Amino acid sequence: MGRWGTVALAALAVATTACSPGSAEPATSDEASPPATRTPRITDHSGRPPVTFDPCYDIPDDVMHAAGYDAGKKELADMPMGTYTFLGCLYKKDDYIPGVRRGFGLNVLAGNVTLEEEAKKNGHISEPTSINGRGALLRVDPSAELDP
């Protein structure tokens, strides 16, 4: 996979529900509707393409609600790194059980690096997975730090 791809890292869990990037409305006439475009929240000057999938805006709230997250409380979790960029969205699941668990979160990231680059850098704390047919990484060691 030598093309630029979307990389998703899940902080502690990954929702493998059906979310479709580019949820454009179907055309209602014989003419095709132009695709909706949005200016990315963050761009870098690396020469890499801008991040076009925005997890906070492109994953439908009903999908996250169905996965057990309160999408009304999602938070932007962007990571401008200078030579690349990640647009992120943090979803929290505050189902505190005393002495057992304090809740957990899901951080969905889309970046302008290849999946191979990210796997090489952080493969020691993640494993490959697939979300709606797209390659992704699942962070399996939440206590480990990501490499910059």
The pLDDT score that the predictor gives to residue 2 is 32
Q: What sign has the CA pseudo-torsion 129, 110, 61, 89?
A: positive
Q: pLDDT digits over 94-104, tens only?
A: 777 788 777 77
The residue type found at 120 is: K
**Across residues 23-28, what is the average pLDDT?**
33
**Furthest CA-CA distance within the chain:** 60
Number of neighbours of residue 2 by Cβ within 10 angstroms: 6
Q: pLDDT digits over 37-63, tens only?
A: 678 888 888 899 999 889 999 999 999
Encoded tokens for 124: 């020691």
